[in-house]
Structure 1
Amino acid sequence: MKTTAQRRHRRALAGGRTEPSASPAFAPLRGPGAALAALAGAQFTVMLATSIVNVALPQIQAGVGLSDGGTTWVVNAYGLAFGALLPAGGRAADLLGRRRVLLTGLALFAVSSGAAGLATTPGVLIGARAVQGLAAAAIAPAALALVMDLFPPGPGRGRALGVWGAVSGAGGAAGVLLGGVLTQAGGWPWIFHAVAIGASATLVAAAFVLPRAPVEDSGRFDLLGTVVVTLALTALVWGLTTARGSGWTDIRVLGALALAAVLLAAFTLVERRRPHPLIPPRLFTAGRVTAGNVLMALLGSVWIALFFFLPLYQQQVLGSGPVVTGLGQLPLAAANMLGSALAPRVCRRIGARATVTAALLTEAGGLLWLSRVSVRGSYLADVLGPSILVGLGLSVAFVQLTALAVEGVAKEDTGLAGGLVNTTRQVGGAVGLAVLATVAGSVTARAGTEVPHLEALTAGYRAAFALSAAVLAATALLALVLTRRGARDADVAPPTTAVTTAAR
């Protein structure tokens, strides 16, 4: 019987493209553990760049002369490019080679991060952040697809996805902490220089530990579909982010959302006629891809908003400084890492369906607890306990929904599946934050006519946390329906200790 390596070698001799190889001197480093560490580092860097700017926005605004509206685009430019280009990044990884796309993305990420740190004008800074987002859209799906290649279904994949979930949560929390520390110690440019250094180190490590593999010819890149869906997602995310400040009735918001709807309808029609569509219909007939993406979008709608409102409550109501606020995220990050480590074990014991439902209800309980925050509260009384509950539930749900979203997908589509689940999380986050910010703002505005400003702010935050808890409770009920398939589901492929050493 021919081995997997022999079959790949034959395909390569028959004309398959082969990715560049790392130096033979570093061949002993090419183990699954070293590869997973490099891939986790790539994901950590992407998540770090998402949140590290939030605490430093006032200093960035003064440093490059941004207007109030321009300041929001330091965040939005990254998020827009990242969310809109993820499907294209995932498909490019499948067609061009996951290792190649990952390394190219890391190189571009390092260069654009360095450029952001050196920026002296608003245009250069915002442009560099957009390029960061483009690079992240290549890194995230390629790295996730490589993890799926390295670890076949079974306990090994579960543990790998646990690591993936841990670094994702840790990257978001670390960004808040490092943003405060670096801004206070060395100035705002260092938040970008630190990301550039991290991306460069990850690039070097990945180049050494990820071996080459033949790139199978699985179709052509759907340029028309990519352009249409990218414009649609850009219009959608732009409209939602603009709605936070301008309101839902603003003509620009309504126009952007209408354009997004038209373009998404056009994308559906275009894809039906393409011989090699960007998002082939077969993707949604494999495993529980649809269920994983729907549930991930709902989880994302609460996830992004949590890291928006919680630091605001700590700083604006409790009076914490940037560094103390960042330190306050550490228990949440620790709970996130613990939950990610436990998720595979819990899933093997009670099944994916029960695991997802319990995790969502746990996070909902933590958010319901946060909905009781007080203007006269404290970190220990109002934030610490619910943060731990939220961190545990969020991490377990994220790990299992990621697994569901790529379950049963053909190997040639794993990059696309990884890009799609990241897209649904990003778009879900944009929708959720826009809605929750509108609700919180409305509650604060009404309360502001009757109570002091801080009490009105707190009332708005309570409303956002309460609505988030309700969304997750409803998501848990939906998960019971969407993930129904057999008694002991998900991650239930026959256990195996074999690990594929070739990573595409």
Structure 2
Amino acid sequence: MSTLASAPARPPRLTGRLKVVLAVLLVAQFTLAVDFSILNVALPLIGDGLGFSLANLQWIATAFALSAAGFTLLFGRVGDLVGRKRVFLASLALLGLASLAGGLAPTPEILIAARVAQGLATAAATPAGLALLTTSFPEGPLRQKALGLNGALMSAGFTTGAILGGVLTDLLSWRWAFFVNVPVALAVLLVAPAVIEESRPADRPRIDLPGALSVTLGLLALVYGLTQAGEHGWTHPATLAGLLAGAVLLVVFYAVESRAEQPLIPVHVLRKRTVAWGNVLGLLAFVTETSLVYLLTLYLQKTLGFSALAAGVSFACLGLGTVLGGLLAPRVIARASARAALVGGGLLQAAFTAVLLLLGGTPASLWLQLPATFLGGVGNMLVIVGFMVTATAGLPDREQGLATGLASMSQQVGITMGTPIMSAIVTATSAGAVSAGAVLHGVRAAVAVNAALVLLGVLVAVAALRGAGARGADPAH
């Protein structure tokens, strides 16, 4: 046997160009994640500044969530057709312009239009950026590392948004929560064209218009119903109408895809174990951790009396935990499997979410909350990276836009679903009371449901992904 034949293969390494590609894509995805939460703390001040009525204030968040979640799958497919780099750059340009318009908005109508445009930019940039990430890095250790860093920054971006929104609003103005996107978008647009290569399938399929319309309208109706549930409760007519219409339209979408010559989502992809169950796990991961931020914000401000800024800063521990989890996840997947990351991370997250049931009505509970959210964040990020690797592995490049579109949709719908679900539980448990004790009781009930959902994800990973390989490959369809 020759020396060359017996020498172990060197692990692939990041080249200088790939490092720049990774940095550009990660900065963009981090910025998009920040936008989901950066305005939460500033909503009352925006309402006062522009004259929003209390009833209409929620539309600042809802307008963004509707467009971000509803159009993700469609824009993921558009990227496959016209080129993911082209869609990524166009969406970053739209984000910069929309953010500038939002920061300068003189009326509620212009602000809502800017939020819709920000949501559309997010719906296009997120799957395009993820597809560029998966096609720029070959399946294996390099892709796992890239997805680990991406997942860490996405989750950290959500918690950073809560902190940054409080800091900018307190020190400058709520308008800077919009303006901060403008220089980031410009920097990405200056660097990205020179370092990112175009990515598109060799065969360019046609747009499946009936499928695109049914899934987009279905997701819009579903997200609308969920936001109305958080605002008015699960039995409100708007909630029921939105959820029912969404369910019907998604059934119609599946029927259309089963018969279409060139479907938006080929049914064989939906039937692939790792794609289907991986996205279920991703949905649960984002539902639980992002809604936990909402629950703890409620607890810190309504029960402990913290300011918005102090509450936001307390989430730094959660952010650090997600970064550590993102760095650990590729190593866990390389040494064991994506399924091991999903199961181990889920158990860790569930355990330390359950610890939060011990929170009390005094500031001393902060010493319990901070380490619990740190370790829970580590677990949640193991799950998120495991989901990303599982849901995008084993598919050819021509289907990566589809796979990342599905993963982005799961992420964004999960972020949108979590808060209204937990808000409805808190409201029902506290019987609408707003005293410190009533809020604490409601938060505890919602935390218990949150931990149960995480455990449900663990059971799904154990049962549905049995036999999945280290890279999330699906040995049986």
Q: Corresponding residue for 2:457? A: 475
Query: CA deviation digits over 1:244-277, x for unaligned, max 9?
Result: 1212222222222221122122222222332211
State the shift of 1:106 in Å: 0.3
Closer/same/farther in 2, CA of residues 240 and 44 from structure 1, 3 Å limit = same
**One-letter code aligned to 1:96:** V
RMSD over aligned Cα atoms = 1.9
Alignment of 1:292-303 (within 5 A): 292-303=278-289
Tell whether the 8 Å contact from 2:80 to 2:200 is kept in structure 1 after alignment: no
Alignment of 1:209-228 (within 5 A): 209-212=195-198, 216-228=202-214
Query: CA deviation digits over 1:388-427, x for unaligned, max 9?
Result: 1111011111011011111112211111211111212332
Closer/same/farther in 2, CA of residues 64 and 235 from structure 1, 3 Å limit = same
Tell whether the 8 Å contact from 1:371 to 1:465 is kept in structure 2 after alignment: yes
Tell whether the 8 Å contact from 1:348 to 1:491 is kept in structure 2 after alignment: no
State the shift of 1:127 in Å: 1.2
Is 2:400 the counterpart of 1:414? yes
The 10-residue stretch of structure 1 (435-444 or 463-472) with the greater mean CA deviation from structure 2:
435-444
CA distance in structure 1 between the partners assigned to 2:392 and 2:285 by the alignment: 17
Query: CA deviation digits over 1:157-185, x for unaligned, max 9?
Result: 11111110121122111111110111111
State the shift of 1:469 in Å: 0.6
Alignment of 1:100-499 (within 5 A): 100-212=86-198, 216-286=202-272, 288-378=274-364, 380-445=366-431, 448=433, 453-485=435-467, 489-490=470-471
CA distance in structure 1 between the partners assigned to 2:120 and 2:113 by the alignment: 11
**One-letter code aligned to 1:139:** A
CA distance in structure 1 between the partners assigned to 2:214 and 2:174 by the alignment: 36
**One-letter code aligned to 1:489:** A
The 10-residue stretch of structure 1 (40-49 or 251-260) with the greater mean CA deviation from structure 2:
251-260
**One-letter code aligned to 2:350:** A
Tell whether the 8 Å contact from 2:274 to 2:473 is kept in structure 1 after alignment: no
Tell whether the 8 Å contact from 2:391 to 2:472 is kept in structure 1 after alignment: no
CA distance in structure 2 between the partners assigned to 1:415 and 1:200 by the alignment: 24
SS for the counterpart of 1:68 is: coil
CA distance in structure 1 between the partners assigned to 2:69 and 2:224 by the alignment: 11
The 10-residue stretch of structure 1 (35-44 or 204-213) with the greater mean CA deviation from structure 2:
204-213
The 10-residue stretch of structure 1 (210-219 or 244-253) with the greater mean CA deviation from structure 2:
210-219
The 10-residue stretch of structure 1 (131-140 or 306-315) with the greater mean CA deviation from structure 2:
306-315
CA distance in structure 1 between the partners assigned to 2:365 and 2:151 by the alignment: 26
Tell whether the 8 Å contact from 2:79 to 2:200 is kept in structure 1 after alignment: no
Tell whether the 8 Å contact from 1:293 to 1:405 is kept in structure 2 after alignment: yes
**One-letter code aligned to 2:266:** P
**One-letter code aligned to 2:83:** G
SS for the counterpart of 1:477 is: helix
Tell whether the 8 Å contact from 2:274 to 2:472 is kept in structure 1 after alignment: no
Q: Corresponding residue for 1:95? A: 81
State the shift of 1:223 in Å: 2.2
**One-letter code aligned to 1:482:** A
Closer/same/farther in 2, CA of residues 491 and 260 from structure 1, 3 Å limit = closer
CA distance in structure 2 between the partners assigned to 1:268 and 1:210 by the alignment: 34
Query: CA deviation digits over 1:364-402, x for unaligned, max 9?
Result: 111101122111243632311111111101111101101
State the shift of 1:462 in Å: 0.9
Identity over the aligned pairs, expressed in percent? Answer: 38
CA distance in structure 2 between the partners assigned to 1:59 and 1:217 by the alignment: 50
Tell whether the 8 Å contact from 1:367 to 1:390 is kept in structure 2 after alignment: yes
Is 2:41 the counterpart of 1:55? yes
CA distance in structure 1 between the partners assigned to 2:459 and 2:177 by the alignment: 40
CA distance in structure 2 between the partners assigned to 1:200 and 1:223 by the alignment: 33
CA distance in structure 2 between the partners assigned to 1:236 and 1:285 by the alignment: 22
The 10-residue stretch of structure 1 (242-251 or 96-105) with the greater mean CA deviation from structure 2:
242-251
CA distance in structure 1 between the partners assigned to 2:450 and 2:111 by the alignment: 33
Tell whether the 8 Å contact from 1:295 to 1:479 is kept in structure 2 after alignment: yes
CA distance in structure 2 between the partners assigned to 1:218 and 1:320 by the alignment: 54
Tell whether the 8 Å contact from 2:201 to 2:398 is kept in structure 1 after alignment: no
Tell whether the 8 Å contact from 1:96 to 1:215 is kept in structure 2 after alignment: no
CA distance in structure 1 between the partners assigned to 2:147 and 2:199 by the alignment: 22
CA distance in structure 1 between the partners assigned to 2:214 and 2:33 by the alignment: 26
Tell whether the 8 Å contact from 1:83 to 1:426 is kept in structure 2 after alignment: yes
The 10-residue stretch of structure 1 (101-110 or 297-306) with the greater mean CA deviation from structure 2:
297-306
Q: Corresponding residue for 2:9? A: none
CA distance in structure 2 between the partners assigned to 1:433 and 1:255 by the alignment: 19
**One-letter code aligned to 1:392:** V
Tell whether the 8 Å contact from 1:51 to 1:172 is kept in structure 2 after alignment: yes
Task: Give TM-score scaled by structure 1 length.
Answer: 0.87
The 10-residue stretch of structure 1 (316-325 or 41-50) with the greater mean CA deviation from structure 2:
316-325
Tell whether the 8 Å contact from 2:158 to 2:290 is kept in structure 1 after alignment: no
State the shift of 1:285 in Å: 4.5
Tell whether the 8 Å contact from 1:95 to 1:219 is kept in structure 2 after alignment: yes
Q: Corresponding residue for 1:10? A: none
The 10-residue stretch of structure 1 (463-472 or 420-429) with the greater mean CA deviation from structure 2:
420-429
**One-letter code aligned to 1:325:** A
Tell whether the 8 Å contact from 2:302 to 2:435 is kept in structure 1 after alignment: no
CA distance in structure 1 between the partners assigned to 2:305 and 2:194 by the alignment: 46
Unaligned runs of 5+ in 2: 1-14
**One-letter code aligned to 2:470:** D
Tell whether the 8 Å contact from 2:230 to 2:424 is kept in structure 1 after alignment: yes
Identify which of 28, 33, 39 aligns with 2:25: 39
Report how many aligned residue pairs link the two structures. Answer: 460
Tell whether the 8 Å contact from 1:158 to 1:491 is kept in structure 2 after alignment: no
